[in-house]
Amino acid sequence: MQLNIEDRFTKELPADSVLDNSRRQVKEACFSYVSPKKTKTPEMLHVSPEMFSALGLSEEDAKSKEFLNVFTGNSQLPNTTPYAMCYGGHQFGNWAGQLGDGRAINLAEVKHDNKHWTLQLKGAGETPYSRTADGLAVLRSSVREYLCSEAMYHLGVPTTRALSIALSGDEVLRDMLYDGNAAYEKGAIVCRVSESFLRFGNYQLLAARQDEETLKTLVDYTIKHHFSHLGKPSKETYLQFFETVLNNTLEMIIHWQRVGFVHGVMNTDNMSILGQTIDYGPYGWLEGYDHNWTPNTTDSQFKRYRYGAQLEIGLWNLFQLANAIYPLIGETEGLEGLLHSYHEKAERQNLSMMRSKLGLFSEEKSDAILIVNLEETLQLTETDMTIFFRNLSDFSSEKPSEGLRIVKDAFYVLTEVSDSIKQQWNSWFMQYAERLQKEDATSEERKENMNHVNPKYVFRNYMAQLAIDDADKGDYKLIDELFQLLRKPYNEQPENEKWFVKRPDWARHKAGCSMLSCSS
């Protein structure tokens, strides 16, 4: 197995001078050297072909003993120095101080086809940032992260990637529901891959400690390697850097809204500086279209990170990042101006995203009202987001009275769709039909366009749970079946129609299917 190693992070940024793996505050450094823990009886469960090819590896490599050993932490790639990154963050709106990679260990950086990738094991043992926890991950959260990151990639949503998922052979103690019933679960390790795992929290922690020197080093490093088109560091470049992060973050969240993804824990330590979806924890997919929904049980009281709040939270998090890099700029006007531009941009992009979901390619003033009316009507009864938008592409502006029949499969309880709700739907379909008359595209063209925007298959929460239950019993076929299904989420796959269904009733209240805890 030959990987083209080209480490930059450890070579160019200050390292923690303490080398022992003890839990501590790490100052004036961006990372700590630490080796993954050896595992008992590692077993590779799945490897992503797209990802191993991107790294310059072959199928043979992926099947090798060396691959298994390296990506479960049992042997080290030659000439590499694994490390954990130091960062802080705001958790649920409160500054939490130092957090850091408590159970993630970066192995090395690889350059292939002019692309730079960092390889990172999640669940590979303790680091100086593990605080009170064990540095490990369980099978259920690992299956969820592995499948979801690749699914998001194929949906066209910016995301960190996943190379592999393996069992460690070790047992991990978890109190899944936080109800005092801790139990042993199978330990697992996912190898995540991204150009960079830097988060808002990396910059925030240095700013909070008033360590401007390291802060500048890190920001300059980030621009040099990840935003190189911006040029040499200067106050102007720092502002452009912030503007790019703002734009990328916004774009990512608009994609989440489009596919119905709820991150669940938008803490600033979980916000990638590249605007990628990162840290798949208690995330979920909207089934019933509901702006108030969050999958995260830890957030069930205030629902800070609910579907309908994600764009607003993006701005809140960007404020924190702006505060962090402010010392390098020394004046507030530029940063404030950019932050003020967010709402207008978000509104414009959200409108344009919703237009595309409706197959509208021209712009009409009335579209905003059409969309608000739709969102309100969708929330009158439990209505499946994915099925609704996918089936809507069959709507004909010549037959508005057929609308309800076309989207019927999206309703969870048909009897809830009362006569007055039916009336609201019919009047919305009339509005929509009128609006479609102003479009040039034929119905076929519209359908084709809509089906590139509205996925047929998403990684519904119950699907993840089915794969987890099987995997826990030693059957990994469903992991592969879902992996293959989600590679082409916009395609009709007649043989996979069974996955184009509403969440089954048994999954409504089952742990892992509708609500998830942070325990992983």
Q: Give the active site residues.
A: 269
Which residue number, 174 or 446, has a Cβ lying nearer to ligand AMP? 174
CA atoms within 13 A on the CB side of 362: 10
The entry of ligand AMP, Mg ion, none near residue 133 (CB within 5 to 8 angstroms by kind) is: ligand AMP
Render 391-419 in DSSP notation, one character per residue. Answer: HHTT--TT-GGGHHHHHGGGBS-GGGS-H
Binding residue (CB under 6 A) for ligand AMP from 37, 90, 103, 503: 103
Which residue number, 136 or 309, has a Cβ lying nearer to ligand AMP? 136
Q: Which of positions 231-290 make contact with ligand AMP (CB under 6 A)?
A: 265, 269-270, 279, 281
How far is 92 from 96, CA to CA, in rounded Å?
9
Q: How far is CA 262 from CA 305, 362, 384, in A?
A: 8, 29, 15
Which residue number, 185 or 279, has a Cβ lying nearer to Mg ion? 279
Q: Minimum distance from CB of 520 to ligand AMP (Å)?
A: 7
Which residue number, 278 or 471, has a Cβ lying nearer to ligand AMP? 278
The pair phi, psi for residue 338, each rounded to 5°, is: -65, -40
If we measure between CA atoms, which residue out of 99, 304, 61 comes closest to residue 208? 99
Q: Minimum distance from CB of 88 to Mg ion (Å)?
A: 11
Q: Which of positions 132-151 make contact with ligand AMP (CB under 6 A)?
A: 133-136
Which residue number, 80 or 294, has a Cβ lying nearer to Mg ion? 294
Render 16-48 in DSSP notation, one character per residue. Answer: PS--S-------S-SEEE-PPPP-SS-EEEEE-
What is the 3-state secondary structure of 486-497? CCCCCCCCHHHH
If we measure between CA atoms, which residue out of 294, 300, 268, 304 comes closest to residue 178? 300
Amino acid (1-letter code) at residue 38: K
Q: Minimum distance from CB of 114 to Mg ion (Å)?
A: 29
Q: Minimum distance from CB of 98 to ligand AMP (Å)?
A: 9
Which residue number, 126 or 279, has a Cβ lying nearer to Mg ion? 279
Sequence-separated (6 or more) residues with CB below 8 Å from residue 352: none
The entry of ligand AMP, Mg ion, none near residue 82 (CB within 5 to 8 angstroms by kind) is: none
Residues in a beta bridge with 515: 511
Binding residue (CB under 6 A) for ligand AMP from 48, 130, 240, 350: 130
Is 443 exposed, middle or buried, given 0-12, 13-18 or 19+ CB atoms closer than 10 A? Answer: middle
Which residue number, 296 or 465, has a Cβ lying nearer to ligand AMP? 296
Of the listed pieces 125-133, 205-213, 435-443, 474-482, which binds ligand AMP according to CB under 6 A?
Answer: 125-133
Is 225 exposed, middle or buried, given 0-12, 13-18 or 19+ CB atoms closer than 10 A? Answer: middle
Residue span 61-100 as binding mask against ligand AMP, x where in contact by CB under 6 A, dash where not: --------------------------------------xx
Q: Minimum distance from CB of 131 to ligand AMP (Å)?
A: 6
Sequence-separated (6 or more) residues with CB below 8 Å from residue 476: 45, 46, 470
Binding residue (CB under 6 A) for ligand AMP from 14, 102, 169, 233: 102
Which residue number, 69 or 267, has a Cβ lying nearer to Mg ion? 267
Could you tell me if 428 and 377 are in contact, meaning their C-beta atoms sit under 8 angstroms apart?
yes
How far is 145 from 467, CA to CA, in rounded Å?
12
| E strand or H helix at 256 | helix 235-259
Neighbours of 148 (CB within 10 A): 23
Q: Minimum distance from CB of 153 to ligand AMP (Å)?
A: 20
Binding residue (CB under 6 A) for ligand AMP from 54, 208, 353, 518: 518
The entry of Mg ion, ligand AMP, none near residue 265 (CB within 5 to 8 angstroms by kind) is: ligand AMP
Local structure of residue 515 (DSSP, 8 states): B
The entry of Mg ion, ligand AMP, none near residue 136 (CB within 5 to 8 angstroms by kind) is: ligand AMP
Coil, helix or strand at residue 65: helix
Coil, helix or strand at residue 162: strand
The entry of ligand AMP, Mg ion, none near residue 518 (CB within 5 to 8 angstroms by kind) is: ligand AMP
Q: Closest CB to ligand AMP belongs to which residue?
A: 102
Q: Which of positions 243-302 make contact with Mg ion (CB under 5 A)?
A: 270, 279
How many residues lie near ligand AMP (CB under 6 A)? 17
Residues in a beta bridge with 296: 516
Which residue number, 240 or 517, has a Cβ lying nearer to ligand AMP? 517
| E strand or H helix at 4 | none
Q: Minimum distance from CB of 266 to ligand AMP (Å)?
A: 10
Q: Minimum distance from CB of 204 to ligand AMP (Å)?
A: 13
How far is 366 from 349, CA to CA, in rounded Å?
16
Residue span 290-329 as binding mask against ligand AMP, x where in contact by CB under 6 A, dash where not: ----------------------------------------
Q: Minimum distance from CB of 295 to ligand AMP (Å)?
A: 14
The pair phi, psi for residue 46, each rounded to 5°, is: -160, 145
> Could you list the residues that contact ligand AMP (CB under 6 A)?
99-103, 129-130, 133-136, 265, 269-270, 279, 281, 518
